[in-house]
Amino acid sequence: MRHVPPVNERDQLVGRRVVLRHRLHGAEQAATDVLGILMSWTDGTLTLRRSRQPEGEPVMVAEADVIAIKAIPARPVTRREVRDLEIAAAHGWQAPETHRIGDWLLRAAGGFTRRANSCIPLGDPGRPIDAAVAEVEAWYSEHGLPPTFQVPGPLGAGLGSVLDARRWSRSEDVWVLTAELDRVRSGSNPDLPPVRIDDRPDDAWLAAYHYRGAELPPHAVDVLTHADSVGFASVDQDGGRVAIARGAVTDAPNGRRWLGVTAVEVTPQARRRGLGSHVVAGLATWAAALGAGHVYLQVEEANTAAQAAYRKLGFADHHTYHYRQAPTS
């Protein structure tokens, strides 16, 4: 019996590690399994890259021969790897005001972005969790902000039950996707206008950035530019800004140098032309000159279209995080 997902679910598999069982021709009822990355599923053909042969010949399978296909977890990511990447990400999106409770990092930026206005538990707070949470609540209340945690998958052990008891709400998961920098650079399209990188966002860049559909507050620029190595990518065509993205190059404690990609936007009239991949590839080329070797970005779990597009560009699942927020009354 065949177990093939419907058409509207296939894009969610592209770019992910899968196991594919398919028929073999020339032998009665013979079949075999392929383990690898599903690179594409178009025009009735699936193309896979075997996991252990990243530079080898791709495996191509006719859709009619597919018996079953399912996504499987990538290599397990360790707690230390999650912590190292989140530290690099914290340096890439810094809040003007910070405070520490042991290894917990509290950030405040006047309410602009949840990441810059939340506490991330990167280790031991150095005191009982209940007491540490009470300090978090007091600090954010002093800053006129709702007490909020950003909780990466394996970090914050024991925190969930304490927040549950205090009736803190929980957001949907956000996926952190990572890729090799050189692979992302290959997404550049010579047929599209060049990507320009500036060290500050100009008015056209800011006008094109719509964080959660709202206008940017005046202090947003302070948050956007608050990093050691930050670049603002732009693509212009026919006298207008058609694509933007922000990149920050930071180091993790394990020595890896990361490019963090945020604020990727393409104007509605210019979509479906590969501009999103193109502008991200431009940032990767810029970051390569600064010694970066890896790229990360964050995508909300519900945004399956963006996840599929990034996985086609070479990104793979690393870990998830979610937000917890104190009740308002």
| Nearest Cα residue to 321 out of 164, 106, 160 | 160
**DSSP conformation letters of 33-85:** EEEEEEEEEETTEEEEEETT-TTSPPEEEEGGGEEEEEE---SPPPHHHHHHH
| Nearest Cα residue to 177 out of 114, 259, 64, 57 | 259
Strand partners for 210: none
Domains in the chain with CATH codes: 7-71 (2.30.30.520), 79-172 (no CATH), 175-320 (3.40.630.30)
Structure tokens at 79: 């707690």
Answer yes or no: are the C-beta atoms of 49 and 60 closer than 8 Å: no
The helix/strand count (H/E) of the chain reads as 9, 17
In tens digits, the chain (329 residues) has pLDDT values of: 677 887 777 877 887 788 898 988 765 568 888 888 888 888 899 998 875 544 557 899 999 999 999 887 667 789 999 999 999 999 999 999 999 999 999 999 999 999 999 999 999 999 999 999 999 999 999 999 999 999 998 898 889 999 999 999 999 999 999 999 998 998 899 999 999 999 999 999 999 998 877 778 888 999 999 998 999 999 999 999 999 999 999 999 999 999 999 999 999 998 888 899 999 999 999 999 999 999 999 999 888 888 888 888 888 889 999 999 999 87
In the chain, DSSP assigns E strands to 17-23, 31-42, 45-50, 59-62, 66-71, 97-101, 104-108, 119-121, 148-152, 169-170, 174-180, 196-198, 230-237, 240-251, 257-266, 294-300, 316-325
| Nearest Cα residue to 295 out of 180, 159, 172 | 180
| Nearest Cα residue to 260 out of 94, 111, 117, 102 | 94
State the pLDDT at residue 54: 47
State the pLDDT at residue 277: 93
Give dist(CA 22, CA 59) in Å, integer: 11
Answer yes or no: are the C-beta atoms of 232 and 246 closer than 8 Å: yes
Beta pairing, strands 230-237 & 196-198: antiparallel
Structure tokens at 326: 């104190």
